[in-house]
Amino acid sequence: MRAGHFNEIWQRLRVLFKPKQLDRDLEDEVAFHLAMREHKNHAQGMDEREAGYAARRQFGNSTAVKERTREMWILTSLETLRRDFTYALRTLTKKPGFTAVAIVTLALGIGASTAIFSVIENVLLEPFPYPDAKRFMTVEIHDASRGESAGRAEYSAPEYLDYIEKNHVFDLAIADASEEVLYNVGEGVERLHGVLVTPNTFEFFGLPALRGRVLQPADYEPGAPPVFILRYKTWMANFAGDPGALNKTFVLNGVARTLVGIMPPRFGWGDGDVFIPVKPTRSETPVIPGEFPPVWYLMGHLKLGVSVQQAHADLTVVANQLAKVYPKSYPEHFVVKIVSATDMVVGHFRATLYLTLGAVALLLLISCANLANLLLARATTREKEFAIRAALGAGRWRLIRQLMVESLILSFCGGVLGIALAAVGLNSIVAMMPQVTIPAETEISLNLPVLAFALAVAMLTPLIFGLIPALRATRDDLEKPLRESGKGTSGSARQGHLRDAVIVCEVALSFTLLVGAGLLMRSFVALCGVNLGLRPDHVLVSRLPLPSERYKTAAQVTSFFRPLLTRVKTLPGVLDAAESSAFPPYGGFLSEIEIPGKVHRDKWNALFQLCSEGYFSVLRIELKEGRTFDAAEVNDARKVAVVNKTFAHRYFGNENPIGQRVRFSDLENFPDRVPDPWFEIVGVVADALNQGLQEPPQPEAWLPYTVSGSGQRGILVRTSNDPMMLMDSVRREVWATDRSVALTYTGSMENFINSQSFAGPRFGFVLMSAFAAVGLLLVSIGVYSVVAYATARRTHEIGIRMALGATRADALKLVLGTGMRIIGLGVGIGLAASLALSHLLASQLWQVSVHDPATIACVAALLLTTGALACWLPARRATGIEPTLALRHE
């Protein structure tokens, strides 16, 4: 019987999905009839042709018959579907709360998991478009005596050549170096990010050019016609995608170069705009005369069958040989690290993303648990409805079909909303994501397999849990649910335990999420409260790369900045302005130092900046001892220095540093070298952060910028109003001073610090908080629905108790007690879980303990309060029960 029904429905639905089948069947049926009739006519004496004609005549218009029949099938099928859908919609809209909660729960599960999985897939698993990017490895040299972050991945040209020659693990190795590229366009100067690339670079990446060609071995040879390759994004931005730009010649940093190729959209190694061929040589001549020789980032492609461990062993041997050749470049005790390209670029972001993934997995679990619980609770209340309908003769199949349609509507709405949420969520995540942490090549888009998986899970959950009532209702003992509710007992105990267990899990999961979010928030707040040691507000910064062919010496650089500073200082709204070679919270050059009379085994070094006298007043850095240098000393390029407290403390202890002399050895190696670089300390200033926000300040010194013409420079301007409002007038003054200078990284210092230093931690904490908030919401809904349901089932029992003399307070205690026991248990398990899992969070925290008692206490209080509130609403209803009414109930 059931099979028959199933067959019938299937046949009807099949018409909608396979209309061809229906046509074929009709065709066959009519043909059979005609053949039979023709056969009979023939047997009755007609000749063959006459028999066929007669058969068709007797049949009538066969096309019209088939047409009518087909229409009938299709209309009936649609009608059946429509009836099921209207009934399901009516049922669902009768309980709008349940429906909305179920749909939103589904959508959140699908949306959040898809969005985060997409980010992880695109950022961590496949960030690069290059065919064999998984085998790209960098070699890093770490000082064993210092922390994790103290290492280098860059090498001088001879070192790079040595690594290529001596290693046995890379089948191809390349290097790249950054270079600021200035080129003249129309009225001003554009600045591009140039990447110098070594021979084999394009063979290494294996991507063909979009237009033109990639670099060939001949392009790297000395004396070859100068060429360059353009990035797609830059081609679009600067040439509006004009193919005519190809094979034209542009003057880049004073060299006329021909554009020979444009790369496909996702190529962006080193985040370069233009790629310039350079063949590193052992003589290590600077690429641009008068500049520092480039530092090369080494990247090798592991040979097939070579493991990272083998590469590590091999390169450790090579590094130990080279440490003897270049003793200055290697710390006394060092370790070699082999880091994959992906890890190098997104390494520090990985933890945040995996943490988020964990949070999303928890959220998805809560969503599904909640949905299952909602459906189970609803199923139980509908058991009677189904029992009655089954008793009245509704077939098992009919009930199942109706529930299936209901579940499908829920899944469909949840799915559509989920996809929308995923798209919106992904966009917000991408917008909020700290850009510096993601490789330039990475494209983040919705991951379709993941979306399909989430949709499938979301579809199955309501289908499985939604069908339970139909299956239960159509079991053999139809009348059992009817008997049960008549007695007013609280349903089958087994199902009750299942629901309670689900809530306990939800509360525990939510607790873990909330603790994570709380700790990240505390960490972020600590970071926001960090003392920079200077005032970043109302400061405009701008880096000013000077055309190197005309600005090589200290005198040339001074001839630009001295008039510029005078002009800028006279602008209305400007309080003060200064030249600087580095921008906070980062210090400048690192140099080995010497102090007369001090003997020490390890190397002493300090950061130093080249600045003008206004630096300290622009940044409001407090003077502690002595004085800062004055305008005359800067003008005369006197060898005086101001140091920070850490410098004074570390190298002079309790001695007075004023008047002492320090030698900054590295100044001797500057392209515009400073002979005999001994400086007299004239003052000590307060510590300002110079290694980013999360690291303690290092010893640092400030020297007059007029002593050398080398290194990058920029200006700092203190303004009385919003610094962004002065951008245009400052740009005008820069160009009035020299038309060929480009302004880069121009903006308010506060914004730069925000985007560089706060974006990462903020991302982690906002994302985690969003998940925790959603989780808490879902848990409250879950607790509420379960307690409300249980209370409704116990109306009868409560009525009896009250009739027997129980007070309202007793009833309240009964309901609240049941709910709070579950929540309490959940909080307990959650506490244990978060203590066990907290080490996962440790790397993401700053100045907050992973077991921060305040956070844990707050979270516990929050969950208990929310839980109590969710129980309180149904409990209050229970205490309002009139005993007489309750006894008559049902």
Partner 1 sequence: MPEKKAQPTELLQGTLDLLILKSLQSGPMHGYGVAEWIHECSQDVLRVEEGALYPALHRLELRGLLSAQWGMSDNNRRAKFYALTAAGRKQLAQETDYWQRMSGAVARILQTA
Q: What are phi and psi of 313, to 5 degrees?
A: -60, -45
Residue 397 in tokens:
């199949």
**Measured from the CB atom, is 33 or 303 closer to partner 1?**
33
Q: Which range, of 21-29, 331-339, 657-665, 802-810, touches partner 1 by CB under 8 A?
A: 21-29
Q: Does 59 bind partner 1 (CB under 8 A)?
A: yes
CA distance 389 to 386: 5
Q: Does 58 bind partner 1 (CB under 8 A)?
A: yes
Q: List the helix and strand counts (H, then E) for the chain.
A: 25, 23
Helices (H), 529-585: 554-569
Minimum CB distance to partner 1, residue 76 (Å)? 5
699-738 residues near partner 1, rule: CB under 8 A: none
- R_g (Cα) of the chain, nearest Å: 38
**Measured from the CB atom, is 43 or 809 closer to partner 1?**
43
**Measured from the CB atom, is 8 or 284 closer to partner 1?**
8
**CA distances in angstroms from 459 to 325, 362, 700, listed in the order given:** 65, 19, 61
Q: Does 29 bind partner 1 (CB under 8 A)?
A: yes
Minimum CB distance to partner 1, residue 99 (Å)? 28
Q: CB of 157 within 8 A of CB of 199?
A: no
Residue 593 parent element (H or E): strand 589-594
Among 314, 329, 316, which residue's Cα sits nearest to residue 167?
314
Q: Bridge partners of 191?
A: 182
**Measured from the CB atom, is 396 or 889 closer to partner 1?**
396
Q: Does 30 bind partner 1 (CB under 8 A)?
A: yes
Minimum CB distance to partner 1, residue 4 (Å)? 7
For Cα atoms 301, 305, 310, give the angle at the middle one, nearest 5 degrees.
75
**Measured from the CB atom, is 7 or 445 closer to partner 1?**
7
637-656 residues near partner 1, rule: CB under 8 A: none
Q: Does 65 bind partner 1 (CB under 8 A)?
A: yes
Among 8, 50, 284, 695, binds partner 1 (CB under 8 A): 8
**Measured from the CB atom, is 66 or 303 closer to partner 1?**
66
Q: Which range, of 32-40, 307-315, 522-530, 827-835, touches partner 1 by CB under 8 A?
A: 32-40
Among 338, 296, 716, 722, which residue's Cα sits nearest to residue 544?
716
Minimum CB distance to partner 1, residue 66 (Å)? 8
Q: Which range, of 68-76, 358-366, 367-375, 863-871, touches partner 1 by CB under 8 A?
A: 68-76
Residue 217 preceded by cis peptide, ω within 30: no
* C-alpha dihedral sign at 510, 512, 516, 521: positive
Q: Does 73 bind partner 1 (CB under 8 A)?
A: yes
Residue 670 in tokens:
């500057």
**Measured from the CB atom, is 80 or 556 closer to partner 1?**
80
**CA distances in angstroms from 703 to 681, 790, 818, listed in the order given:** 10, 76, 72
The type of residue at 876 is R
**Measured from the CB atom, is 73 or 771 closer to partner 1?**
73
Q: Which range, of 64-72, 180-188, 634-642, 750-758, touches partner 1 by CB under 8 A?
A: 64-72
Q: Does 35 bind partner 1 (CB under 8 A)?
A: yes
Among 309, 470, 344, which residue's Cα sits nearest to residue 403?
470
CA distance 680 to 342: 46
Q: Does 62 bind partner 1 (CB under 8 A)?
A: yes
Q: Does 12 bind partner 1 (CB under 8 A)?
A: yes
For Cα atoms 259, 261, 262, give the angle at the middle one, nearest 5 degrees.
110
Q: Which range, of 26-34, 740-748, 799-807, 818-826, touches partner 1 by CB under 8 A?
A: 26-34
**Measured from the CB atom, is 15 or 214 closer to partner 1?**
15
Among 3, 47, 49, 64, binds partner 1 (CB under 8 A): 64
Minimum CB distance to partner 1, residue 61 (Å)? 6
* CB within 8 Å of 741: residues ≥ 6 apart: 189, 544, 545, 546, 547, 560, 734, 735
Q: CB of 373 within 8 A of CB of 500?
A: no
Helix 759-793 to helix 853-879 angle (10° resolution) is: 30
Minimum CB distance to partner 1, residue 407 (Å)? 25
Minimum CB distance to partner 1, residue 474 (Å)? 20
Q: Does 68 bind partner 1 (CB under 8 A)?
A: yes
**Measured from the CB atom, is 45 or 60 closer to partner 1?**
60
Q: Bridge partners of 167?
A: none
Among 32, 87, 354, 745, binds partner 1 (CB under 8 A): 32
Q: CB of 709 within 8 A of CB of 557?
A: yes
Give the x/- contact pattern for partner 1 in 193-232, rule: CB under 8 A.
----------------------------------------
CA distance 208 to 302: 21
Q: Does 680 bind partner 1 (CB under 8 A)?
A: no
| Total residues in contact with partner 1, by rule CB under 8 A | 27
Q: Does 72 bind partner 1 (CB under 8 A)?
A: yes
Q: Does 25 bind partner 1 (CB under 8 A)?
A: yes
Q: Does 4 bind partner 1 (CB under 8 A)?
A: yes
Minimum CB distance to partner 1, residue 32 (Å)? 5
Q: Which range, of 20-28, 136-144, 453-461, 484-492, touches partner 1 by CB under 8 A?
A: 20-28
CA distance 154 to 178: 11
Q: Which range, of 30-38, 119-127, 505-513, 628-636, touches partner 1 by CB under 8 A?
A: 30-38
Minimum CB distance to partner 1, residue 54 (Å)? 11
| Sheet hosting strand 744-748, strand order edge to edge | 574-580, 714-719, 539-543, 744-748
**DSSP code of 741?**
P
**Measured from the CB atom, is 35 or 436 closer to partner 1?**
35
**Measured from the CB atom, is 35 or 251 closer to partner 1?**
35
**Measured from the CB atom, is 72 or 256 closer to partner 1?**
72
Minimum CB distance to partner 1, residue 3 (Å)? 11
Minimum CB distance to partner 1, residue 396 (Å)? 16
Q: Which range, of 70-78, 125-133, 366-374, 542-550, touches partner 1 by CB under 8 A?
A: 70-78
Q: Determine how many CB atoms are found less than 10 A away from the CB of residue 282.
A: 11
Minimum CB distance to partner 1, residue 402 (Å)? 16
Q: Which long-range contacts (CB under 8 A, 24 or more apart) does 205-208 make?
A: 205/130, 205/267, 205/269, 206/130, 206/131, 206/132, 207/129, 207/130, 207/131, 207/263, 207/264, 207/267, 208/264
Among 2, 50, 61, 436, binds partner 1 (CB under 8 A): 61
Minimum CB distance to partner 1, residue 19 (Å)? 15
Residue 781 in tokens:
């809904």
For Cα atoms 359, 364, 369, give the angle at the middle one, nearest 5 degrees.
125
**Measured from the CB atom, is 72 or 224 closer to partner 1?**
72
**Measured from the CB atom, is 33 or 638 closer to partner 1?**
33
Q: Determine how many CB atoms are found less than 10 A away from the CB of residue 2.
A: 12
CA distance 788 to 794: 10
Give the x/- contact pattern for partner 1 in 282-321, rule: CB under 8 A.
----------------------------------------
Site of interaction with partner 1 (CB under 8 A)? 4, 8, 12, 25-26, 28-30, 32-33, 35-37, 39, 58-62, 64-66, 68-69, 72-73, 76
